[in-house]
Structure 1
Amino acid sequence: MSAALLIIDMQVGLFHGPEQPHHGEQILANIQHLIAKARQQQVPIFAVRHTGPQGSPIAAGSPFWQLLPELELNAETATLFNKSRPNAFHDTGLAQQLQSRKIENLYLVGMKTQFCIDSTCRAAADLGLKPVLIADAHTCMDTPALSAQAIIDHHNATLGGAFARVINSADVSF
């Protein structure tokens, strides 16, 4: 069974913005560990950037739109692409790329849990992929209604029930 790692919206403006992501440094370290493991095992890495309209802080090419430099991802080491909706499959060609490489298991990490992680995980399942949500490698910020930890816990439980296998980064074996 072939696998791929999908890194969602780990961008300068989201990660280092006015609101800090919950356990951001630990999440980043876990993702860096998964990138290293994927490279070692020659597992394809896909990284997507959320792209806002021209003039927005995360417009294509802006400083905040860039992937985190700490991830050390570029066009030689990963397939980089952009999205404008929470679902990373919407109008991106991602499904076709995964299908052409015969990838079944899609390991999901990144930001933000209740938006792009949730939407992409559900869409992957609907497309017949086998999503694997890495419980300790996705994050978000506190909201007025819920703490980030409550959002993360809820999504790990909900997505793990019907849409994905949920495991911790230490247990990943591509």
Structure 2
Amino acid sequence: MAKQALILIDIQNDYFPEGKWPLEGVEAAANKAAQVLQAFRQVGNAVIHVRHEFTSEDAPFFTPGSEGAHLHPKVLNQGNEPVVLKHFVNAFRGTELRALLEQRSITDVVVLGSMSHMCIDGVVRAAADLGYKVTVIHDACATRDLEFNGQVIPAAQAHGAFMAALGFAYADVLSTDEYLKAQAAAV
């Protein structure tokens, strides 16, 4: 039988409106993340939080030890929920994330958080390459406008492009409602 874990990626204060690097739609995404988190807690499935800190004090956001680098209050970990500290885009790189999943005999991971085009993309591709069945909760993820070659790519388009790419070959990409309904039907 599949064992599932929720991985919450970088839902940290600096990504919120009062932070150093605000994302579009981050409040709505965090509310959806909190719904999924509550569902995991209710059934007793594993929950792992990931938070990013840069190693330099002059980083644009998530500076070491700063309030902005703390987990946002909407999704704070509880006593038995580990928090993985990472310094790279891919949450598996240089961290204990894989060991935590293996200790719990996890086969399936559900991923949500920030940013869609960076750390969500990185962890989803890595998890799939490591053999995990991956689900992404797209409306519980957020990003920001990007720029490439002098062109601004609106956040919604960047998010959509990355979700489409992940859904093509790496993960099931579902809304919060779709995921919660499927879980309720499986019980």
Distance 2:80 2:36 in 1: 14
Counterparts of 1:54-133 in structure 2, within 5 Å, are: 54-55=56-57, 56=59, 57-74=61-78, 76-133=79-136
- Give the partner amino acid of 1:105: D
Tell me the C-alpha RMSD between the 2 structures: 1.5
- Aligned pair in 2 of structure 1 residues 105, 86: CA closer, same or farther (>3 Å)? same
- TM-score for the superposition, normalised by structure 1: 0.93
Q: Identity percentage over the alignment? A: 28
Counterpart selection for 2:168 from 161, 166, 169: 161
Shift of 1:77: 4.2
Answering whether residue 155 of structure 2 is matched by residue 148 of structure 1, we say yes
5+ residue gaps, structure 1: none
Counterpart selection for 1:49 from 48, 51, 54: 51
Aligned residues: 173
More RCO (CA 8 Å, sep 6+):
1
Match of 2:153, SS state, is: coil
Q: More deviation in 63-72 or 15-24?
A: 15-24
1:135 aligned residue: 138
Distance 2:65 2:139 in 1: 29
Please give the per-residue CA displacement for 1:98-123, whole angstroms capped at 9, x wherever unaligned: 11211111101000011100011000
Match of 2:6, SS state, is: strand
- Give the partner amino acid of 2:111: L
- TM-score for the superposition, normalised by structure 2: 0.87
Shift of 1:18: 4.5
Shift of 1:20: 3.2
- Give the partner amino acid of 1:26: A
Distance 2:23 2:80 in 1: 26
Shift of 1:78: 1.4
